[in-house]
Amino acid sequence: MAEQVTIFFYGLFMDPEALEAKGLRPREVRQAYVERFTLRLGKRAALAASRGGRVYGTIMRLTHAEIDHLYSDPSVAAYRPEPVLAQLADGSGELALCFNLPTPPDEASSNPEYATALQAVAR
């Protein structure tokens, strides 16, 4: 079996059904959050450092090949992996990779269509 990596997703990729529709097999999907970030919306979601921030999402396990496939799409090709400590509901933490833009959208950016889709996934 191929090695699996824990990923923290905070945008539309946090929906395991959407990933399955792309041919991926997300495993061990759990709700989580990361501290010291805030969510910014541009064309897609991104994280920005924020001393008192918290961003909710999911962690799951994917293989390296699945991650490469997912981030080969031109719409997310600029995202880069960085390590985060994802906090779980039981109070534990788990190291995860989080793909983020090197330069997040500015605070004035918005994307109402993406925000509506993200709210539906978050429910």
Q: What confidence tens digit (pLDDT) does each residue in 45-90 have?
A: 899 999 999 999 999 999 999 999 999 989 899 999 999 999 999 9
pLDDT at 121: 72
Q: 4-122, which class in CATH?
A: alpha beta
Q: Do the Cβ atoms of 112 and 41 come closer than 8 Å?
A: no
C-alpha 18/C-alpha 63 separation (Å) is: 16
Q: Which amino acid is at 57?
A: G
Sign of the alpha-carbon dihedral angle for 62, 63, 66, 70: positive
Give the mean pLDDT of 91-118. Answer: 81
C-alpha 14/C-alpha 73 separation (Å) is: 16
User: Residue 14's closest CA among 120, 103, 113, 95?
Assistant: 120
C-alpha 23/C-alpha 85 separation (Å) is: 27
